[in-house]
Amino acid sequence: MSSESRFYRRAEEWLERFLELNPVAATQLGDHRWDDRLGDRSLEALEAEHEEVKAALAEIRGMDPSDFSLDGRIDHTLVTHIFDSFVRSYEKIQSHRRNPGDYLEEVLGGVFSLIIRDFAPLPDRLRSALGRVREAPRVLKEAQANLIPERIPRVWAEVALEQAKQAPGLFVGLLPAMAAEAAPDLQQDLTEAGQRAAQAIQAFADFLENEVLPQATGDFAVGKDLFDEILREQHMVDYDADQLLQTGWEQFHQTKAQMEAVAREIDPNRSVEDLLEEAKADHPTAEGLLEAYEQAMAEARQYVIDHEIATIPEGETLRIIETPTYLRPLIPYAAYMPPGIFEKKQEGIFLVTPVDPNDPPEVQEQKLKGHARPKLPVTALHEAYPGHHLQLIWANRQETIPRRMGSFLATLFIEGWAFYCEEMMEQLGYIAQPIQRLSRLSDQLWRAARIILDVSLHTRGMSVDEAVDFLVKECKLEPTNALAEVRRYTQTPTQPQSYLMGKLAILKLVEEFKRANPGASLREIHDAILGCGSLPPRLMRMRLLGK
> Which DSSP string do the residues of 483-513 spell out, in sequence order?
HHHHHHHHHSTTSTTHHHHHHHHHHHHHHHH
> What global pTM score does this model have?
0.92
pLDDT of residue 547: 78
Q: Is residue 143 a contact partner of residue 156, using CB atoms and an 8 Å limit?
A: no
Rg of the chain in Å (alpha carbons): 23
Give me the mean pLDDT over the 460-480 stretch: 95
pLDDT of residue 467: 99
CA dihedral for 468, 469, 473, 474, sign (positive or negative): negative
Query: Mean pLDDT throughout 201-225?
Result: 98
Task: Please state the φ and ψ torsions of residue 441, each to the nearest 5 degrees.
Answer: -65, -35
Query: How high is the pLDDT of residue 304?
Result: 98
Distance of CA 342 to the CA centre of its chain: 18
How high is the pLDDT of residue 335? Answer: 85
For the chain, the first-to-last Cα distance in angstroms comes to: 28
Could you give the strand order of the β-sheet that contains 347-352, starting from the edge strand earlier in sequence?
317-322, 347-352, 334-337
Bridge partners for 378 per DSSP: none
Contact between residue 282 and residue 274 where contact means Cβ atoms under 8 Å apart? no
Answer whether residue 329 shows pLDDT above 70. Answer: no
How far is residue 104's CA from residue 347's CA, in Å, rounded to a whole number?
Answer: 25
- Say if residue 182's pLDDT is above 70: yes
The packing angle between helices 498-516 and 434-459, to 10°, is 120
CA 78 to chain centre: 19
Asked if 4 and 314 touch (Cβ cutoff 8 Å), the reply is no
Q: With left for phi above 0 and alpha for psi between -120 and 50, is residue 317 left, alpha or beta?
A: beta
Nearest to 2 by CA among 49, 68, 47, 52: 68
| 402, containing H or E segment | helix 401-404
Query: Tell me: the pLDDT tens digits for 380-396?
Result: 999 999 999 999 999 99
Q: Mean pLDDT score of the chain, rounded to an integer?
A: 95
Judged against a pLDDT cut of 80, whether residue 325 lies above it is answered with: no
Report whether pLDDT(327) > 70: no
Q: Please say if the pLDDT value at position 297 is more than 80.
A: yes
- Distance between CA atoms of residues 69 and 403, nearest Å: 14
Report the amino acid identity of residue 459: T
Could you give the CA distance from residue 15 to residue 75 in angstroms, rounded to a whole number? 13
Q: What angle do CA 331, 333, 334 make, to 5 degrees?
A: 75
Element (H, E) at 351: strand 347-352
Q: Three-state SS for 113?
A: helix
- Look at residue 330 in the predicted model and tell me its pLDDT: 63
Distance CA 93, CA 59 (A): 24
SS3 335: strand
CA 309/CA 140 separation, integer angstroms: 48
**C-alpha–C-alpha distance, residues 74 and 534, integer Å:** 12
Alpha-carbon torsion 95, 406, 506, 350, what sign?
Answer: negative
Percentage of the chain lying above the pLDDT 70 cut = 99
pLDDT score, position 167: 92
pLDDT, mean of residues 111-128: 92
Name the helix (H) or strand (E) containing 537.
helix 537-545
Residue pair 429/189 in contact (Cβ under 8 Å)? The answer is: no
The residues, ordered by sequence, that sit 6+ positions from 124 with a Cβ below 8 Å of its Cβ are: none
pLDDT at 320 over 90: yes
pLDDT at 345 over 90: no
Select, from the ranges 143-147, 285-289, 331-335, 479-483, the one with the highest average predicted confidence (pLDDT).
Answer: 143-147
Give the whole-angstrom CA distance, residue 242 versus residue 62: 34
Rounded to whole angstroms, the Cα distance separating 475 from 482 reads 9
For the purposes of burial, counting CB atoms within 10 Å of the CB of 144, is it exposed (0-12), middle (13-18) or buried (19 or more)? middle
Mean pLDDT, rounded, for 221-249: 98
Q: What is the pLDDT of residues 69-109, one digit of tens each?
A: 999 999 999 999 999 999 999 999 999 999 999 999 999 99
